[in-house]
Amino acid sequence: MPLKTCPLGGPKMKNTNPWKRSFAAGGVALTFMAGAAQSEETLTYATYLSDVFSVSKASHWLVDEIEKRSNGEIKFEKYVSGSLLTAPDLFPGLASGAVDIVMGAPHAYNVSEYPLANILMPYMTTQIDAITYAWGELYRNNADFRAEYESKGVKPLFVSPYSENTIWSTRPVETVEDLAGLKVRAVPPVSIALKELGATPVALAWPEGVDGMRRGVVEGMSSAPFDSAVNAGLYEVAPYVTGAGTGALGVATIAISMDRYNSLSPELQKIIDEVSAEATAKGLQFLDQTTDVAVEKLCGLKEPVTINVFSEAEVAKANALASAKLEEAWLERASSEANVDGVAMLAEFKGYIQKFEETSQYVSGFARYNDTCTQN
């Protein structure tokens, strides 16, 4: 099934439910009318990212594999690059019925609706595979964490990890002090950490951030996974890239509308569940591949970027400045907005991370670069 794009007003497409649905995305009303001939097994899939990213590859693998294993009983209409819904509208779109399956980041773009989703914070770990498996354990075992999604009619199928966070900038950043006053695109929770480190975070979605770098609206681009940043060509607009020891950036959440899932037969639900159970490992494989591609690109640049990686002392300094504030902010929201025992949940999540760190095999993009490329 080809990937589709559509004009600003949204695509003219048939609905999978026998009633009219309307959803406001980015100030534009998207209205979908039911089609009498439309099969109830045709699902719409949407994401704000293009298909070059590892998380996109993982979610595309999921929907393609579901089609394959269902022998065509489930078919998908795919909309990428924000062509159906923008990043902040994806998860609300599941609840409203504007879309059936999404790949998005509620921890970054829907913070008020998903206050617990930011439990993964900067400086928590550098092992990307560990946080991926830890997230799954927390969702399966913690009823409060699970309820944040399911109470909104959302059923997460799996999460796919982003690689470690990077900072791309128009001036060198070698120490915490170099971040002072840097106007940098970032979304929560990275934006909270950068503010504590002296930078000036600017809330922009990924496409607007890249464009903002080109136009000089911002001086830096963060909340930028290593592989995604390189493969998106940030080196074309920023001559410096920094590894500030932030560690794991987050996960992309691939989720289905609970109503849509429940409308399917038990046999089709089983197929979705089985494919989803395999998708986490697939996401890590895609991340490994895209990170290697990114390293190869950096190695081959005719005009190489300057790479700065914080020393252990600078990482420790940044951790001391940012971590306590991050946890304090999350715990406050967990208590006041989600009405849960955040202290217990956070301890549980950290325990899962430590468990999976023991068997982690992840090697960061910066470490791969150092191992394979000649540095000047």
What confidence tens digit (pLDDT) does each residue in 304-324 have? 899 999 999 999 999 999 999
pLDDT category of residue 209 using cuts at 50, 70 and 90: confident
Half-sphere exposure in the Cβ direction for 224 (13 Å, CA): 33
Residues above pLDDT 90, as percent of the chain: 77
Evaluate if residue 360 carries a pLDDT over 50. yes
The pLDDT, as a whole number, for residue 277 is 96
CB within 8 A of 184, min separation 6: which ones? Answer: 167, 169, 194, 199, 200, 201, 202, 218, 219, 220, 221, 222
Cα radius of gyration (the chain): 20
The pLDDT, as a whole number, for residue 1 is 45
Is 73 within 8 Å of 127 (Cβ atoms)?
A: no
Integer angstrom CA distances of residue 100 from 76, 199, 261, 284: 9, 38, 8, 24
The structure tokens 């159970």 sit at 277
- Calculate mean pLDDT across residues 3-14: 37
The pLDDT, as a whole number, for residue 9 is 32
The pLDDT, as a whole number, for residue 275 is 98
What phi, psi does 113 have (nearest 5°)? -85, -25
The pLDDT, as a whole number, for residue 250 is 85
Give the residue extent of every domain in the chain: 3-161+250-290, 165-249+302-372
Q: DSSP for 17-50? A: SSS-EEEEETTEEEEE-B-TT--TTEEEEEESS-
Integer angstrom CA distances of residue 80 from 83, 84, 174, 286: 6, 7, 36, 18
Evaluate if residue 30 carries a pLDDT over 60. no
Integer angstrom CA distances of residue 291 from 53, 172, 236, 275, 368: 10, 23, 18, 24, 9
Over the chain, what is the mean pLDDT?
88
The pLDDT, as a whole number, for residue 22 is 35
Closest of 197, 160, 202, 192 to residue 310, by C-alpha: 197
pLDDT category of residue 212 using cuts at 50, 70 and 90: confident
Pick the CATH number of 165-249+302-372 from 1.10.3210.10, 3.30.70.270, 3.40.190.170, 3.30.70.100: 3.40.190.170
Integer angstrom CA distances of residue 117 from 22, 256, 366: 27, 17, 27
Closest of 175, 195, 176 to residue 184, by C-alpha: 195
The pLDDT, as a whole number, for residue 51 is 86
pLDDT digits (tens, 9 = 90+) for 41-90: 899 999 998 888 899 999 999 999 999 999 999 999 999 999 999 999 99
Closest of 212, 218, 220, 211 to residue 173, by C-alpha: 220
Provide the token pair at 296. Answer: 């190869």
What phi, psi does 90 have (nearest 5°)? -65, -55
Integer angstrom CA distances of residue 255 from 92, 93, 252, 273, 311: 12, 11, 10, 12, 38
Distance, CA of 252 to CA of 355 (rounded, Å)? 21
Evaluate if residue 23 carries a pLDDT over 70. no
The pLDDT, as a whole number, for residue 99 is 97
Task: Let me know if the fold of 3-161+250-290 is the same as that of 165-249+302-372.
Answer: yes
- Calculate mean pLDDT across residues 109-128: 93
The pLDDT, as a whole number, for residue 40 is 60
Select the more confidently predicted residue: 29 or 222.
222
| C-alpha distance across the termini of the chain, in Å | 45
Tell me the fold of 3-161+250-290: D-Maltodextrin-Binding Protein; domain 2 (3.40.190)
pLDDT digits (tens, 9 = 90+) for 150-176: 999 999 999 999 999 999 999 999 999
Distance, CA of 90 to CA of 195 (rounded, Å)? 27
CB within 8 A of 126, min separation 6: which ones? Answer: 164, 245, 247, 248, 362, 364
pLDDT category of residue 374 using cuts at 50, 70 and 90: low
H-state helical runs in the chain: 54-69, 90-96, 106-109, 128-141, 143-150, 190-196, 206-215, 226-231, 258-263, 266-299, 312-336, 342-357, 365-372
pLDDT digits (tens, 9 = 90+) for 262-283: 999 999 999 999 999 999 999 9
